[in-house]
């Protein structure tokens, strides 16, 4: 019993559609990178909780002190390390959040790509400038 060629072609088209949907589920769509992005946002936000509490406490404690006192405080390796960690995590978290906003609300592909690149570059440059400032304060006083 042979099937007619017309039926076989329709069946093949249906299978091709099913394979395409299955291919999207297996990693050709946003499901693969979206999970990592979601986790990165959560991990950075959790890391920012103690770092922000520490930073607010330090800022209140050092308010009113001279620049020399602040430079002496920043010269301690633990303080400089925590400050740099807070800055890097803050700018990474900011870039991740802005990426979600851009992907959700900008629908023109060229504008979306340009905006994503601009946000990544701006956050990277600001993080670099901030780290250099902390290192300069810590090492040069």
Note the pLDDT of residue 34. Answer: 80
Cα separation values, 71 from 59, 66, 77, 88, 107, Å: 13, 9, 12, 20, 47
Mean pLDDT, 10 residues at a time, over the chain (141 residues)?
Answer: 54 54 55 81 97 97 94 95 98 97 94 96 98 95 72
CA atoms within 13 A on the CB side of 36: 4
Note the pLDDT of residue 54. Answer: 98
Note the pLDDT of residue 111. Answer: 95
- What is the topology classification, in CATH, of domain 32-140? 3 helical TM bundles of succinate and fumarate reductases (1.20.1300)
Cα–Cα distance between 135 and 141 in angstroms, integer? 9
Cα–Cα distance between 128 and 103 in angstroms, integer? 25
Note the pLDDT of residue 101. Answer: 96
């Amino acid at each position: 019993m042979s099937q007619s060629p017309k039926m076989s072609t329709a069946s093949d088209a249906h299978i091709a559609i099913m394979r395409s949907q299955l291919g999207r589920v297996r990693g050709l769509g946003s499901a693969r990178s979206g999970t990592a992005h979601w986790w990165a946002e959560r991990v950075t936000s959790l890391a920012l909780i103690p770092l922000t509490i520490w930073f607010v406490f330090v800022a209140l404690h050092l308010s009113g002190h001279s620049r020399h006192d602040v430079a002496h405080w920043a010269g301690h390796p633990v303080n400089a390390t925590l400050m740099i960690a807070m800055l890097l995590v803050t700018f990474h978290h900011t870039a991740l959040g802005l990426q979600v906003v851009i992907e959700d609300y900008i629908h023109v592909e060229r504008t979306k790509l340009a905006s994503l690149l601009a946000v990544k570059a701006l956050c990277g440059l600001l993080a670099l400038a901030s780290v250099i400032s902390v290192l300069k304060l810590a090492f040069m006083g």
